[in-house]
Amino acid sequence: MNDARTLPPSAATTQVLLCMIWGLGQVAAKVGNTGISPIWQAALRSIGATLLLVGWIAWRGIPLGRRGETLLPGTVAGVLFGLEFTFLFVGLVYTTAVRAVVMLYSAPFFVALGAHFFVPGDRLSRNKLIGLAAAFAGLVLAFADRLTLPDAQALIGDLLCLAGAVMWGATTVVIKATALRRAPPETTLLYQLAVSALLMSALSYALDEPGVFAPTPLIWSLLAFQIVVVGCASLLIWFYLVSRYRATTLHAFTFLTPLFGVIAGSMLLGEPVGPVLIGALALIAAGIVLVNRG
């Protein structure tokens, strides 16, 4: 691994591109909900990404490690991963992609808080505490802005997306606190994708979702983007970068993801971005940077 704190230009450019892709994910899901039921759309994404990942693992001959010690935590991580995207995709029915990305990327707040209690040696430092305070202030500001608006369903959407952030944070803590931290990254990703595919398919069936109710070339294209680019390729590239460069250096870029998401939602969907939401985004982004530096 290259321990340099400064990434070479190619790696930095790749990481910025990944942040842009992840920021576009909520926009793709928001539009996808107009043609596919939200939970079924999330399930299809996991199903497709699972098949691609299995093909990649088989082609590369990647060892998956000891399944005996990773089966239970891997299943738990997969359930949490499935709940994250269930909350997120349903939340996007009621709220804007701009607000969804702000809520979702408060996840480092919950990671730092959970790691303090469950991950040995990952205690809250001064930087992390300041970062947590900034992120929490950003959430308070975002919800204060929402409470001034009359749309109660939109508030429900925001809360569902925030619940998705909690599930994302819990997934990360499970990975850091169990045998998954020693497993190949492809193993962890496979657990998340495969278990979430089963869970969300069952939830979609149990809730009697209509499924694909308005298929168009745009809807299929966005689903393919989510499966191939967001759900599989971007994560494999991320794992490659993590294997070569310091994770803390790479994580410093993650504040760009909600920024790209807000820009994409505003430019592509015409969603409103007021000064209060921009302030909330700035506080959450600052919190991400401080938590990762802590």
Q: What is the pTM of this model?
A: 0.89
The answer to whether residue 3 scores a pLDDT higher than 70 is no
Q: CB count, 10 Å around CB of 129?
A: 15
Greater model confidence, 16 or 79: 79
The pLDDT tens digits of the residues spanning 203-218 come to 999 999 999 999 999 9
The DSSP letter of residue 225 is I
The pLDDT tens digits of the residues spanning 78-112 come to 999 999 999 999 999 999 998 898 889 888 788 88
**Rounded mean pLDDT of the chain?**
88
Greater model confidence, 37 or 249: 37
- What residues pair up with 2 in beta bridges, in sequence order? 245
> How do the domains of the chain map onto residue ranges?
9-293
User: What is the mean predicted confidence (pLDDT) over 219-248?
Assistant: 87
Tell me what pLDDT residue 94 has: 94
The answer to whether residue 281 scores a pLDDT higher than 90 is no
* Cα-based distances in Å from 92 to 33, 155, 183, 238: 8, 11, 33, 25
Dihedral pair phi/psi, residue 36, rounded to 5°: -135, 135
Tell me what pLDDT residue 65 has: 75
Residue 57, C-beta contacts closer than 8 angstroms, at least 6 positions apart: 64, 186, 190
